[in-house]
Structure 1
Amino acid sequence: MKIACVDFADTSAKGLESGELVTTVGGQFIDSMFPFVLMYNRLAGTPLTEEAVEIPVNFITCTTASQFNDYMKYVHGDVFPYTADEVKALIKKFNPDASVETLKKWGSTFSIEEVKTRHAEYFK
């Protein structure tokens, strides 16, 4: 029997290696950062938008143990997918050019490869 699941587990790599697990989807823990940015800006009196906005965020899909191991290293590891400095760039108090368009772009491009590339300096 082959299994696909939502949310990652410590045994996901083993299941993907053996073929018992064909795909696993997760990475949704990052979703909370997006409403935080919107709320922080609103409460600070510098909203990114006056309209309700939807920020679609990619789920991460792993179909191989290698992908899952990269997820654990680059997304779920010691460095959060968005550092404090990166989040500050979305706060108008720290960056007057912060925009909801940037926030939407971050959500739509979120992936293992995107985080790996953006954080290359942390993994030398």
Structure 2
Amino acid sequence: MQITVRDCQTGAVQRTFPALFTFAKGGTLIEVSAGQFPALTTSGQGVWRHTGGQDYSAVFETFVFSPAGVWIQRHRFTRAIELDSNANEFTDTIKLEIFDTSGNLVVMGCGTSVARRFE
């Protein structure tokens, strides 16, 4: 998967990076990406579901830490996924919500991604 972080107002590309997703039977998922330094974030864990036709949704969360190892944020990613007709590739739109340790929403972000089945 290639993830593109975008400006929510203009859609302009801010950066891109690779990621791996595992969608498990039954509706769970695991995510690992090169979007942040691995010592500062956990892998993502979440759920996915079929919403109709070739469309799916997925939500997962990660924990983010300061360089000193202190938990500082929780990131929630909500994805609207469109699978291709062969079920080997998909595109999606991403909504990012960043929460502080008290659960307060502090910032939102946007993105897109393209993915191909790992073989």
Normalising to structure 2: TM-score of the pair? 0.28
Q: Which protein is richer in strand relative to its size? A: 2
Normalising to structure 1: TM-score of the pair? 0.27
Higher gyration radius (CA): 1
Q: Which has the higher contact order (CA 8 A, sep 6+)?
A: 1
